[in-house]
């Protein structure tokens, strides 16, 4: 029988600094909950709101796979590898921090906020060469289907990381049903509802709820509202 862990939206860590409002699904910065350290190799899931013109100054990372998914607005990125980029809704950004990088992230616009998910995963290889990549996805390809946005394979759809993980995004009409089959035995899936209402394996979820499922081969998803949007993150549990 599948095992599950449910994280309701309002149970997340809440850090409001004015210019930054971040909700933490897992322990991060000043939010520490020993029951919420990670889900398998998924270490950080931050739901960030950054006010106009504000952002994170240059700071270091190492030995972490870092994925940013913009939801609204424009996020400007600069790093120690010389990359300068702006990403928006429909883009996915990835960094393999490896032996070490520094980067900054700012809201490109002065007059409106930027909202994005910041996701960290433990890598399956340490001290790799640092790497940056970003792609623009066709949003139409996630209407009533699961669009792959991340995998372990550089030649597959989406970005790739040093980990046996697969991410999919779907945006569904009310009543639409979808199935997700686990790609690697032993992996689990952390589902995060970006918008609306959905039921996964019989568990009802609302906007910004998270549900981890493992020891199963299949997820059954049903949209319970128009434009229900769900991110599925399949990750190794060890």
Model confidence, pTM: 0.97
Structure tokens at 57: 């100054």
Strand 166-172 versus strand 177-181 pairing type = unpaired
Q: Which residues pair with 85 in a beta bridge?
A: 77
What pLDDT shows up at residue 227?
94
> Which of 84, 103, 106 lies closest to 19 in space, CA to CA?
106
* SS3 per residue for 141-159: HHECCCEEEEECCCCCCCE
174, with CB counted inside 10 A (0-12, 13-18, 19+), is middle
Written as tens digits, the pLDDT of the chain (238 aa) is 899 999 999 999 999 999 999 999 999 999 999 999 999 999 999 999 999 999 999 999 999 999 999 999 999 999 999 999 999 999 999 999 999 999 999 999 999 999 999 999 999 999 999 999 999 999 999 999 999 999 999 999 999 999 999 999 999 999 999 999 999 999 999 999 999 999 999 999 999 999 999 999 999 999 999 999 999 999 999 9
Say whether both 158 and 229 belong to one domain: yes
The 3-state DSSP class for residue 19 equals coil
Q: Mark out the alpha helices in the chain (DSSP H runs).
A: none
What pLDDT shows up at residue 101?
96
Say whether both 185 and 96 belong to one domain: no
Q: Residue 197 belongs to a domain with what CATH number? A: 2.60.120.10
Say whether both 56 and 119 belong to one domain: yes
Say whether both 170 and 83 belong to one domain: no
Cβ–Cβ under 8 Å, residues 106 and 54 = yes
CA 83/CA 167 separation, integer angstroms? 24
With respect to residue 4, please indicate whether it lies within any of the assigned structural domains.
no
Say whether both 94 and 153 belong to one domain: no
Say whether both 117 and 168 belong to one domain: no
Matching residue, tokens 């939801």: 71
Count of domains for the chain: 2
Supply the range of the domain harboring residue 64: 12-132
With respect to residue 104, please indicate whether it lies within any of the assigned structural domains.
yes
With respect to residue 177, please indicate whether it lies within any of the assigned structural domains.
yes
Cβ–Cβ under 8 Å, residues 7 and 211 = yes
Greatest CA separation found in the chain?
A: 50
With respect to residue 2, please indicate whether it lies within any of the assigned structural domains.
no
With respect to residue 1, please indicate whether it lies within any of the assigned structural domains.
no
CA 181/CA 151 separation, integer angstroms? 14
Say whether both 23 and 102 belong to one domain: yes
């Amino acid at each position: 029988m599948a095992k599950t862990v449910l994280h309701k939206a309002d149970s997340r860590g809440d850090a409001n600094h004015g210019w930054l409002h971040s909700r933490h699904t897992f322990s991060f910065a000043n939010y520490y909950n020993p029951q919420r350290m990670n889900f398998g190799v998924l270490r950080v899931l931050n739901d960030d709101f950054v006010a106009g013109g504000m952002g994170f100054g240059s700071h270091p990372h190492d030995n972490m796979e870092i994925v940013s998914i913009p939801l609204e607005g424009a996020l400007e990125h600069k790093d120690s590898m010389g990359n300068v980029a702006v990403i928006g809704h429909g883009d996915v950004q990835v960094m393999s921090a490896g032996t070490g990088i520094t980067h900054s992230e700012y809201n490109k616009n002065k007059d409106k906020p930027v909202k994005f998910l910041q996701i960290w995963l433990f890598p399956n290889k340490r001290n790799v060469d640092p790497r940056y990549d970003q792609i623009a996805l066709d949003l139409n390809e996630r209407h009533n289907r699961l669009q792959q946005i991340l995998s372990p394979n550089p030649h597959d759809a989406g970005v790739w990381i040093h980990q046996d993980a697969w991410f999919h995004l779907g945006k569904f009409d009310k009543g639409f049903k979808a199935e997700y089959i686990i790609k690697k035995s032993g992996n689990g899936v952390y589902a995060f509802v970006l918008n609306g209402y959905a039921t996964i394996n019989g568990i009802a979820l609302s906007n910004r709820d998270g549900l981890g499922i493992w020891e199963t081969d299949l997820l059954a998803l049903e949209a319970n509202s128009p434009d229900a949007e769900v991110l599925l993150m399949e990750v190794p549990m060890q």
